[in-house]
């Protein structure tokens, strides 16, 4: 069993949803837990569900049974503990499912928006390299065969072409090394601090990333308050949820400020991640006693804004890259074709 690997948000969303369904159905608690273990299709999740059911049958609390699997986030286990105390297990499982589903959707949206331009840039680079390395030498040979002279700008491009041909394996090796280095930084846990700093400082990406952090923060805080937890304890529980060491550290510092008498919104503003509108609505929600509903509303607003920004980003990047490709290819072709046209004109 892959005990050291926490389940992804997609698996968590489905698993929590299945528990919410069986616990809402009116079936006796123990029978419902066993029924779910029998109905889970995915083999990996079925092992966890079966193990949970076996522990529950022995008298272990559901939260403890989840904890014993070592694959569920601390937040999930803590929320189940709260639900056991408040008697809201079905509702909490449903809200956990919504939370993880939304988190997974945000992650997929950002990944899709960033993958698209990377693929386009790779294709554009491939087309330009093919043109420079393979096509240009042919035009060069034709130009020399008809007795033409090579202009300085054209010769410079041809020199680049010859240099690329002679060192193509070295170049490909360097590109591969850079790709491996980026993948290592993005996937290695020891490089998390560096990766998190990139996400907060990369142009365009940083705004989208901060928006996604705000959505998840608002959703998690709303769920904790709905479960009956006070706002101070809710803040403490949210810190481990933040998947960025720099923001998590800043949140811990804001907790100290709050305990020293600073209001929540001012402490959060000092972090420099949350939008002013979010902080103002949060203040209004606290004053009117409707913080949970306000957080749900603001997370929905920002989710729509994130979707629009990602769509706009994807829609704008394609024509920009196409224009760049057209200009580069057109310039290269003109530098090669103009001497040939001049020779043909003189012959004519």
pLDDT tens readout for residues 224-260: 888 777 888 888 888 877 778 888 888 888 888 888 8
- 2 — phi, psi (to 5°)? -80, 70
Contact 246, 200 (CB under 8 A): yes
- Mean pLDDT across the stretch 169-181? 75
- Res 64: pLDDT: 93
Model confidence at 54, in pLDDT bands (50, 70, 90)? very high
**Whole-angstrom distance, CA of residue 339 vs CA of residue 150:** 7
**Residue-wise pLDDT tens digits, 58-76:** 999 999 999 999 899 888 8
DSSP letter at 188? -
**Whole-angstrom distance, CA of residue 62 vs CA of residue 76:** 11
Residue spans per domain, the chain:
9-72
Contact 275, 187 (CB under 8 A): no
- Res 311: pLDDT: 80
- Res 55: pLDDT: 92
- Mean pLDDT across the stretch 185-211? 74
Higher pLDDT, 184 or 330: 330
Question: Tokens 């805080």 map to which residue?
Answer: 221
- Two tokens at 140? 């060069």
Least confident of 116-130, 144-158, 226-240, 280-294: 144-158
pTM of the entire predicted model: 0.68
- Res 2: pLDDT: 46
**Whole-angstrom distance, CA of residue 158 vs CA of residue 137:** 7
**Residue-wise pLDDT tens digits, 270-325:** 888 898 889 999 899 888 888 888 998 888 888 888 888 888 877 777 788 778 87
């Amino acid at each position: 069993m892959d005990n050291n690997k926490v389940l992804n948000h997609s698996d968590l969303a489905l698993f929590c949803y299945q528990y919410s369904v069986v616990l809402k159905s009116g079936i006796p608690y123990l029978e419902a837990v066993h029924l779910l273990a029998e109905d889970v299709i995915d083999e990996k999740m079925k092992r966890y569900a079966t193990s949970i059911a076996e522990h529950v049958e022995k008298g272990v609390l559901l939260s403890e049974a989840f904890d014993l699997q070592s694959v569920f986030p601390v937040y999930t286990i803590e929320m189940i503990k709260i639900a056991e105390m408040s008697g809201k297990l079905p509702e909490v499982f449903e809200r956990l499912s919504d939370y993880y589903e939304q988190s997974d959707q945000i992650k997929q949206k950002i990944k899709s928006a960033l993958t698209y331009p990377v693929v386009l840039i790779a294709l554009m680079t491939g087309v330009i390299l093919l043109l420079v390395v393979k096509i240009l030498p042919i035009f060069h040979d034709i130009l020399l065969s008809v007795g033409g002279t090579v202009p300085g700008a054209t010769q410079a491009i041809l020199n680049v072409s010859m240099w690329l041909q002679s060192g193509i394996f070295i170049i490909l090796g360097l590109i591969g090394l850079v790709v491996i280095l980026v993948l290592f930084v993005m996937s290695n846990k020891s490089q998390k601090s560096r990766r998190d700093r990139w996400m907060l400082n990369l142009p365009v990406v940083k705004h989208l990333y901060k928006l996604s952090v705000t959505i998840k923060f608002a959703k998690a805080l709303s769920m904790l308050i709905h479960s009956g937890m006070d706002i101070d304890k809710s803040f403490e529980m949210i810190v481990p949820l933040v998947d960025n060491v720099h923001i998590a550290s800043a949140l811990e510092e804001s907790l100290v400020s709050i305990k020293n008498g600073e209001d929540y919104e001012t402490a959060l503003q000092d972090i420099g991640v949350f939008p002013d509108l979010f902080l103002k609505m949060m203040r209004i929600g606290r004053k009117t006693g409707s913080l949970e509903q306000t957080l749900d509303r603001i997370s929905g607003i920002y989710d729509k804004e994130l979707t629009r920004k990602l769509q706009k980003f994807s829609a704008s990047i394609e024509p920009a890259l196409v224009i760049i490709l057209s200009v580069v290819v057109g310039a290269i072709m003109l530098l090669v074709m103009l001497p040939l046209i001049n020779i043909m004109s003189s012959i004519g």
